[in-house]
Structure 1
Amino acid sequence: MKSLDMEAVHAFVLTANLKSFTRAAEVLDTTQSAVSLKIKRLEHNLGRRLLERTPRQVRLSADGAAFEGAARALLAAHERALAAFGRVQRRLTVALSHHLVGSELPALLQRLNAAAPALVWEVRVVSSREALQAFDAGEVEAALVLGHDAQRADGEVVMHEAFGWMALADFQWPAGEALRLATQAEPCNVRRMAVDTLDAAGIDWREVFVGGGIITLGAAVLAGLAVAALGRRVAPPGSVDVGPRLGLPSLPGRDVLLHSQVRDTPGRDGLRALCAALVGSRA
């Protein structure tokens, strides 16, 4: 009877989720070539090609799609077996800026579960300010935030977030009228960035909707109410950057920073998985 290498199965599930050997290698703290080799050996053992590799993307083959569900179930059973003797589960508490997660949150959580199934995730989605306050107060072990504060130098840059003036493709801004704007309630650094950019360009604007989080701003955008300054990665499907068409000034980007006090291996592995999942959600 054939036996399966659990590390190879894990590498396959991660690569399938993240659609990238590079992202999977980051989560596993290894090299891209090592991940590729594990999966090739798994494919050889099964006698099936599981992944289709092209220069631009990695996707499941028909056999890979058929195997993926069983692979996930196998990993889950493996974790249950390891926990049979009372192994204490690791709870990882993280605060995320609500500007970093939108409608893709379910897919993000799925990727996290595939990458670190043994972890219990406790996630707060709040403003960057609130996330840093919770981190500094020791209420969470890690915080992923937008880097607005140039004076604070204790975060690790995870990626760069590009912002755009997001709206429906046919959004109209009649001549002579103030730009209709959807924002988050004050205090919000992204709101401040947006209105400062408009003020510096001498563009008249008025708030027509004030929300709390990307989901509410995305709903206002898709309802055609207004333009919103949103990260292009998390803007709602169906919205586009109308800035160039409307002649709006470019918005500055922001680094995404990880602040962490985590030192143990399971926790650090979990944070690597979270960062890789966020980066992968740009695809």
Structure 2
Amino acid sequence: MKALDIEAVQAFVLVADLASFTRAAEAMESTQSAVSLRIKRLEDGLGRRLLERTPRRVRLTAAGQIFLERARMLIAAHGEALDAFASVRRRLVVGISDHAVGAELPLLLQRVKRVEPGLLLEVRVGSSRDILVAFDDGALDAAIVLGHDAGRRDGEVLLTEAFGWMAARDFAHRAGDPLPLAAQAESCNMRSMGVAALDAAGIAWTEVFVGGGVGTVAAAVSAGLAIAVFSRRVAPPGSADVGPVLGLPMLPPRDLVLYASLSEPAARQSLKTFVAAIRSTAA
């Protein structure tokens, strides 16, 4: 058997981790067809089918599951060899809006670490406003925020977030009572979005929980205390959009926007991997 093509092995690992040829191609700054060809040649060389491809999903075959862990070890060893004489460890500092990350964050970090095992990744979570200020001040390599400033054009749209009125599945609301809301402080854009929609629709509401962060608001929703505005992508586990059932107004979508200032090719590549992992959570 011929020596394995390291880029083909990397492509296989990326497709397995991101469950998408498109996202893997994005992370590798390549095309979907080129990634498919690399993996096909890898499969031919191994004499095994590694991936099952369908129009809607990609999954590992039994042989692919066996090969995956070995492939990860090979990629890690390759990265260590390349970094053997590096004087400074690669570092990427990313700020993310607290409304853009949720229970999927551990999975996101796991996917990035598997592909970039030698990367020192620093993630800061905060309000979109604070994250953008930190980026403009040079404290961040990249910022991923919800696009509220229509006048700012220097970012890249990663995906469009759809929002809903999220509540625990067993949440009960008595008709005629004000809608119980959970939110962050008055400066929170999600709170402002929800309150403006309710006021415009003439729906009475009352704030029953004020959180010190998105995590605390999510806890209030999971506990059945109230309804809160969340992106459907990162809504609390076990919650559901009760807007249609309760006749609540539709909420406007928001773009998730990337702002980056990176000149080093290796750092840009690491950011590509991170962004591809975020986009894969919307699949």
The TM-score, its normalising length taken from structure 2, stands at 0.96
Which residue of the partner structure matches residue 69 of structure 1?
69
Alpha-carbon distance in structure 2 between the residues aligned to 1:198 and 1:28: 44
Question: What letter corresponds to residue 53 of structure 1 in structure 2?
Answer: R
Which residue of the partner structure matches residue 82 of structure 2?
82
Matches within 5 A, 1:167-206: 167-206=167-206
Matches within 5 A, 1:224-235: 224-235=224-235
Question: What letter corresponds to residue 232 of structure 2 in structure 1?
Answer: R
Which residue of the partner structure matches residue 148 of structure 1?
148
From the superposition, tell whether residues 212 and 9 of structure 1 become closer, same or farther in structure 2 (CA, over 3 Å): farther
Say which is worse superposed, 205-214 or 164-173, in terms of deviation: 205-214
Which residue of the partner structure matches residue 34 of structure 1?
34
Matches within 5 A, 1:237-248: 237-248=237-248
Alpha-carbon distance in structure 2 between the residues aligned to 1:215 and 1:10: 34
Alpha-carbon distance in structure 2 between the residues aligned to 1:195 and 1:136: 30
From the superposition, tell whether residues 246 and 92 of structure 1 become closer, same or farther in structure 2 (CA, over 3 Å): same
Question: What letter corresponds to residue 263 of structure 2 in structure 1?
Answer: R
1:109-150 deviation line (CA, Å, top 9, x unaligned): 111123333422111011101100101111112100000111
Structure 1 residue runs of 4 or more that deviate by more than 4 Å after TM superposition: none
Question: What letter corresponds to residue 274 of structure 1 in structure 2?
Answer: F
Contact 1:167–1:239 under 8 Å retained in 2: yes
* Structure 1 residue 126 corresponds to structure 2 residue 129: no
What is the alpha-carbon root mean square deviation over aligned residues? 1.4
Indicate the SS of the match to 2:27. Answer: helix
Which residue of the partner structure matches residue 17 of structure 1?
17
Tell me the CA shift for residue 151 of structure 1: 2.0
Indicate the SS of the match to 2:111. Answer: helix
Which residue of the partner structure matches residue 263 of structure 2?
263
Question: What letter corresponds to residue 86 of structure 2 in structure 1?
Answer: G
Tell me the CA shift for residue 188 of structure 1: 1.0
Alpha-carbon distance in structure 1 between the residues aligned to 2:136 and 2:77: 37
Which residue of the partner structure matches residue 214 of structure 2?
214
Alpha-carbon distance in structure 2 between the residues aligned to 1:142 and 1:217: 26
Identity across the alignment (%): 61
Q: Paired residues, what number?
A: 283
Unaligned runs of 5+ in 1: none
Tell me the CA shift for residue 213 of structure 1: 3.5
Alpha-carbon distance in structure 2 between the residues aligned to 1:78 and 1:104: 28
Which residue of the partner structure matches residue 45 of structure 1?
45
Tell me the CA shift for residue 87 of structure 1: 4.8
Which residue of the partner structure matches residue 251 of structure 2?
251
The TM-score, its normalising length taken from structure 1, stands at 0.96
Tell me the CA shift for residue 280 of structure 1: 0.7
From the superposition, tell whether residues 212 and 5 of structure 1 become closer, same or farther in structure 2 (CA, over 3 Å): farther
1:50-104 deviation line (CA, Å, top 9, x unaligned): 1110011101111111221121121111111222223532211110001111011
Alpha-carbon distance in structure 2 between the residues aligned to 1:222 and 1:60: 34
Unaligned runs of 5+ in 2: none
Tell me the CA shift for residue 23 of structure 1: 0.7
